[in-house]
Amino acid sequence: ERRTGKEKPFTMPENCPVCGTKLVRKPGEAVWRCPNRGCYGQLVRHLLHFASRGAMDIEGLGTKVAEALVDRGLVQDIGDLYYLKVEDLLQLPGFALKKARNLYQAIQRSKKTTLARFLYALGIRHVGEVAAQLLAQHFKSLEALKKASLADLMSIPGIGPEAARSVWEWFRNERNLQVLEKLLKAGLTFEEEAAEEAPEEKPLEGKTFVFTGALRSMTREEAKRRVQALGGRVTSSVSRNVDYVVVGENPGSKYDRARALGLQILSEEEFLKLIGEKA
């Protein structure tokens, strides 16, 4: 409806628009990626993910700050964050003493975190909040996870083969290990996460869910966690083996597929009621 007839065909770039490195695509993946670990764009995005609320939760480290840290050469990897001084932060645009101290203190506070948050913060491909939580619960320590074999990782319920291989490869990359060592030397410590009380009953035991569209009340990862805590499982593909398809805003083709198969479709409100949450 919005087309004017003047549109130009999209041409997939061969090189990263930020650093110019030739893009690559792994076999079986649809996405082309920049392989340059020193790419400005990648480093800024990595910093933002590392500092995000579900990860290290560093208040005040937003896009402009991340870009300024990289622009000035103050941060070349996530480990450098913990070696910044107030004097370094005063170099950033718009930073007076109070703002610099606030960010410095936020960075220092983030040194005390949980293993699950830290694993999610590392930005390992295919490892979201739920997978990070499962890994932390299974291995209990970073050292145990580092030593895990690919078979160990693949045996964990809820960790798919792609995530397992991605984690295994990440901990065998020398550059990653150097950054990890830098982070640990900076004094990061992992608190034992308070164990969530398991529900006495598992009302969703044996039930399979698919989510499509954006949920207003929680993130997709949070919804998965709620389902798993109640005994259910979440899959990404629609088939006759699925019990419920939860439909949020702007659902994709999974919604049409679910209707065609006659599967039970739940609105977000119906899903919240099913898991015992208030809409």
Same domain flag for 181 and 101: yes
The answer to whether the CB of 238 falls within 8 A of the CB of 261 is yes
Same domain flag for 184 and 226: no
Residue 201 within a domain:
no
Structural domain containing residue 58? 13-193
Region at 120 (left for phi over 0; alpha for psi -120 to 50; beta for the rest): alpha
Compute the distance between CA of residue 258 and CA of residue 124 in angstroms, rounded to an integer. 31
Residue 198 within a domain:
no
- Rg (the chain; Cα; Å): 22
Same domain flag for 215 and 184: no
Same domain flag for 89 and 117: yes
Residue 2 within a domain:
no
Query: Which domain CATH number covers 220?
Result: 3.40.50.10190
Q: Is the pLDDT reported for residue 35 higher than 50?
A: yes
Give me 105's structure tokens.
């203190």
Q: Give per-residue pLDDT as tens, 117-162.
A: 999 999 998 898 888 988 999 999 999 999 999 999 999 887 888 8
Query: Which domain CATH number covers 61?
Result: 1.10.150.20
Residue 51 within a domain:
yes
Residue 138 within a domain:
yes
125 CB-contact burial (10 Å; exposed 0-12 / middle 13-18 / buried 19+)? middle
What confidence category does residue 219 fall into, taking pLDDT thresholds of 50, 70 and 90? confident
Same domain flag for 185 and 213: no
Same domain flag for 103 and 232: no
44-53, 165-174, 213-222, 254-263: least confidently modelled range: 213-222
Same domain flag for 267 and 136: no
Same domain flag for 270 and 176: no
The answer to whether the CB of 91 falls within 8 A of the CB of 75 is no
Query: Where does a domain end: 193, 223, 254?
Result: 193
CB atoms under 10 Å from CB of 7, counted, come to: 8
Residue 8 within a domain:
no
Task: Provide CB contacts within 8 A for 28, sequence distance 6+.
Answer: none
Same domain flag for 143 and 228: no
Q: Give per-residue pLDDT as tens, 22-34.
A: 655 656 555 555 5
Query: Where does a domain end: 170, 193, 216?
Result: 193
Q: Give per-residue pLDDT as tens, 64-112.
A: 999 999 999 999 999 999 999 999 999 999 999 999 999 999 999 999 9
Residue 115 within a domain:
yes
Compute the distance between CA of residue 260 and CA of residue 116 in angstroms, rounded to an integer. 39
Q: Number of folded domains in the chain?
A: 2
Same domain flag for 82 and 118: yes
Same domain flag for 128 and 155: yes
Residue 6 within a domain:
no
210 CB-contact burial (10 Å; exposed 0-12 / middle 13-18 / buried 19+)? buried
Same domain flag for 187 and 214: no
Query: Where does a domain end: 193, 223, 242?
Result: 193
- Rounded percentage of the chain residues whose pLDDT exceeds 90: 63
